[in-house]
Structure 1
Amino acid sequence: MRTALAAGTAWLLATGLTAAGAAPAQAAPLQAAPAADAAPLLDAGSADGRRFRATGRLVGGGGTTCSATVVHAGGRPDPAAKALVLSNGHCADDTMGTNDVVTDKAAPEGWTFTPAFFHDNVAEQKTFTMERVLYATMKDIDVSLLRLNATYGDLAKLDVTPKTLADRRPAPGTALRAVHAPSDGIEDGRRHLRQSRCTATAAVPALHEHTWLWKDATRTDCLGISGGSSGGAVTTAGDTGRLVGMLNTIATPGYLGCGLGRPCEGSAEGLVVPKDDTAYVTPVDAVASCLTGSGFDLRRTGCRLDRGTQVTVTPDGRQTRSTTPDGPARWDVRITPGQGTRPTWVAVKSGPFGAVDCTRPEGYGTPRRLPAAGLEHTAVLPAQDNLHVLCVAGGPDATLQGAAWAASLAHPAYAYVRVDNTPPTVAPRIDAQHFGEGDDATYWVRPVYAPWELTGYQVKYGPRAGTDCADPAGYRPYLNIPASLKASQGPWTYCAIGSDNAGNTTAPAAFTVPSG
């Protein structure tokens, strides 16, 4: 599941990529197999099955599988019009960064959608190719709107009618129905539409995962969800005709802290780590504001989706301690004019993720001139542990007023840095495997990662009698190559110091090989 729930990108979690794209992990699996009773298979002929025939299997780039739903503004489309399909942004492109917005691009070859994707109607299922990516982003909202190479009339022949989108989000306590087609942890032949009956437990103003900053998610207790569930249709229990959201991401069991596969909620006090299996839903009311009877119009009056016409920010998205060998940690952000816009002035402000509102003019500094070559922002970062966001808006003058500035403030660009001065919460562990017999007996030893608390190691090893793990001499970075220790030369002492992505370290840990 990437952000969380797209199948086919599981290797990213299974290898435990760090923010810098390194450090494989031998850690927990992506997601345990969902309990069958948590999200039972939907029967095509059941009442709920008939209500959700518009939802099905989306196959995107590289064979990534997601869930998606046929949609229309009013539910009564022109039969000759090409059908629109709604899913998550990462289902269209899971490499999108913090500020990326994709508009009106040809869909890559091989993208398909199969509606009414039930386990008991396989013979009648029909798969359609995808024609265009009308919209996709991971900025503020994880959403994509795709156009099929098929009409609403073609789908009507399969008894597939589009869903409409609600213009408001579910309030906490609202009973929900989530229909999705999970793949990870599901045996072949059973990777079809399932239904989770659950509840909206909280409105979440700010949600962070990997390089993405999202707004206005809904926290739920939906279960039975795994890779492939991304984009799954979410409705209220009493109104299954309209979507109130899409399944987006979950807190993957076995992962710690905040990172890919482990979203965290923003607050003024720091990132809030959710409990295992907490599922989040992406709202769809902003998408609804851009749909018309004839399709999708990003320039429609009242459309609240980001058009992608903002200054370009090149952030590092790094994790750091507040004090570095070079002094206090600083922002390291480059701001340049973006494509399709020519702002000559730029204003910035910063604050804790979940507390700072980048859309409000209050708190922005005096606009500065933005040369074509760009400018650097290198102010000192706050010392407090938190995810700190830099809001960047561009405009035509130094006033921070008027229509152009208002449009920029509605969708500013972001940079972020996580300040983390807290040592890892778990101690190092090792994996020692025995191979061979007699004189050939060998132990292969490696430290075990625990994303996202232990993502790097310094190690050393030697004969037990002469190796002191408390002595800093001799440690070297672990490069993911197990140590090969001859059993006949043992017992050995293997020393490990774990670290997180900010460089905080554990106390040295000593292990005897063989143990006992």
Structure 2
Amino acid sequence: MDRRSNRLVGIANSLHDNEVGAIPVQRLHGCFSAGRVDLELEGCQLLPGFQLEPQGNSFRKLTKARSQADGSLEPARWGFQFLIDTPRYRYKTSTDALACEDPVGYSGTLTSSEAMINDPIGPEPGVHYLCLIGVQAPEQLPSRALMANSLSIKVELLPPGKPLAQVMIGHLPDGGARISWLRDPDVVFYRVKRGTPETTDCHDPSGYRLLRTLSRDIPGSALPLKLCSVAIDVIGQSSEFRTDLIQAAAP
């Protein structure tokens, strides 16, 4: 509400992925005649609209380029598959969500039977937007109402590179150790194993298990031991094997 005029200026709406957006209501002003709604009025800018439903599970809100063995990077891609209730659609990408309402830069019309966008993202890290509008025919003009109904899909592109396994080790009063695994934004989970220093090989991939909690206390009676850690990032890349030799605290 505008406190000065007591007029309704926007509606808070729950959007995809539990994000909250504010939808302005000024476009409703031209849709009333004698107190009744009429979406066919010349000044009404609510139509045309369209309905879109994401499909599949290849789309990631948080992603990054994949590091190749030769040091090159395979770019991240949108992988956005969807159903749309118009015969055709147009799209473009941008780093500005408001650019979705600008008709400049949109693709030609594409048939809705091929509703899959897999263009590269970036390469600059940061927030990127996929802009979409549904259209009825190739010659449909980008009216203000149509562009105001454009859909923006947000993705955050992280800096490239493999993840880093980060471990903090603190000593407990009883001589044991408290181990904490740290998570950067791109680290999803860890795999770990532990054993006697003489027989445990951290570079042997066998024996690793999913880490259930990010902190664990090891009693002094179980020390010394060798701790092996591997971090897994948002696209499934593994870090280098990390080795920590944990000794009992001095009395």
TM-score by length of 2: 0.66
Matches within 5 A, 1:97-112: 97=16
Q: Deviations over 1:228-263 (max 9, x none)?
A: xxxxxxxxxxxxxxxxxxxxxxxxxxxxxxxxxxxx
1:143 to 14, 22, 28: 22
Q: Which residue of 2 aligns with 1:398?
A: 138
1:460 alignment partner, one of 165, 170, 193: 193
Determine if contact 1:387/1:416 at 8 Å carries over to the other structure.
yes
Match of 2:100, SS state, is coil
Aligned to 1:347: 90
SS state of the match for residue 498, structure 1?
strand
CA 1:503–1:462 in structure 2 vs 1: closer, same or farther (change >3 Å)? same
Residues 322 and 460 of structure 1: CA distance in aligned 2, closer, same or farther (over 3 Å): same
SS at match of 2:99: coil
State the partner residue of 1:359: 101
The amino acid of 2:91's aligned partner reads: V
Q: Is the Cα–Cα contact under 8 Å of residues 459 and 477 in structure 1 kept in the other structure?
A: yes
Specify the alignment match of 1:248 in structure 2. none
1:407 to 145, 159, 174: 145
Question: 2-side partners of 1:336 and 1:424: how far apart?
Answer: 34
Q: Which amino acid aligns with 2:153?
A: A
Distance 1:74 1:417 in 2: 37
How many Å separate the matches in 1 of 2:116 and 2:202?
A: 43
Structure 2 spans left out of the alignment, 5+ residues: 69-73
List per-residue Cα deviations over 1:118-176 (Å, max 9, x = no partner): xxxxxxxxxxxxxxxxxxx83xxx237xxxxxxxxxxxxxxxxxxxxxxxxxxxxxxxx
Do residues 314 (structure 1) and 61 (structure 2) align? Answer: no
- Alpha-carbon offset, residue 314 of structure 1: 1.5
Which one-letter code corresponds to 1:467 in the other structure? T
Deviation at 1:511, TM superposition (A): 4.9
Contact preservation (8 Å) 1:427, 1:506: no
- Any stretches of 5+ residues in structure 1 without a counterpart? 1-69, 78-83, 101-136, 145-285
Residue correspondence of structure 1 range 123-162 to structure 2 within 5 A:
138=20, 142-143=21-22
Query: Matches of 1:445 and 1:289 in 2, distance apart?
Result: 58
Of all paired residues, the percent bearing the same amino acid is: 18
Give the aligned partner of residue 377 of structure 1.
Answer: 117
Match of residue 213 from structure 2? 480
Task: Work out the CA distance in 1 between the residues paired with 2:89 and 2:190.
Answer: 41
CA distance in 2, matches of 1:347, 1:402: 10
Alignment of 1:179-198 (within 5 A): none
Distance in 2 between residues matched to 1:509 and 1:329, nearest whole Å? 30
Q: Distance in 1 between matches of 2:206 and 2:29?
A: 64
Residue equivalent to 2:79? 332
Higher CA-based Rg: 2
**Which residue number in structure 2 is paired with residue 177 of structure 1?**
none
1:433 to 1:409, Cα distance in 2 relative to 1, 3 A: farther
Report the Cα distance in structure 2 between the residues aligned to 1:425 and 1:356, rounded to whole angstroms: 35
Tell me the CA shift for residue 388 of structure 1: 3.1
Partner of 1:428: helix, strand, or coil?
Answer: strand
- After superposition, residues 65-464 of structure 1 pair within 5 angstroms as 74-75=5-6, 88-89=12-13, 93=14, 96-97=15-16, 138=20, 142-143=21-22, 286-287=24-25, 290=28, 309-314=49-54, 316-323=59-66, 329-337=76-84, 342-351=85-94, 353-354=95-96, 357-371=99-113, 375-401=115-141, 403=143, 406-420=144-158, 421-423=160-162, 427-429=166-168, 447-450=180-183, 452=185, 454-464=187-197
- CA offset digits 1:280-332 (Å, max 9, x no partner): xxxxxx3466579xx9x89698788x88943415272343332379x764332
Match for residue 227 of structure 2?
Answer: 494
Q: Structure 1 counterpart of 2:83, which letter? A: T
Q: Give secondary structure in 2 for the equivalent of 1:448.
A: strand
Distance across 1 between alignment mates of 2:64 and 2:179: 27
**With structure 1 as the length reference, what TM-score do the two structures score?**
0.36
Shift of 1:367: 0.3
1:408 is paired with a residue whose SS is helix
In 2, the alpha carbon distance for the partners of 1:409 and 1:85 equals: 20
What is the aligned residue count?
237
Q: Structure 1 residues 394 and 388 mapped into 2: Cα distance closer, same or farther (>3 Å)?
A: same
Q: Is the 8 A contact 1:331 1:380 kept in 2?
A: yes
> d(CA) in 1 for partners of 2:22 and 2:38?
14
Letter of the structure 2 residue corresponding to residue 407 of structure 1? A
Give the 5 Å matches for 1:12-91.
74-75=5-6, 88-89=12-13
Residue identity in the other structure for 1:364:
Y
1:329, 1:446 → 2: CA distance? Answer: 34
CA–CA distance in structure 1, aligned partners of residues 170 and 48 of structure 2: 47
Residues 183-202 of structure 1, C-alpha deviations (whole Å, 9 max, x = no match): xxxxxxxxxxxxxxxxxxxx
Q: Residue 465 of structure 1 aligns to a residue in which SS?
A: coil
1:188 is matched with: none
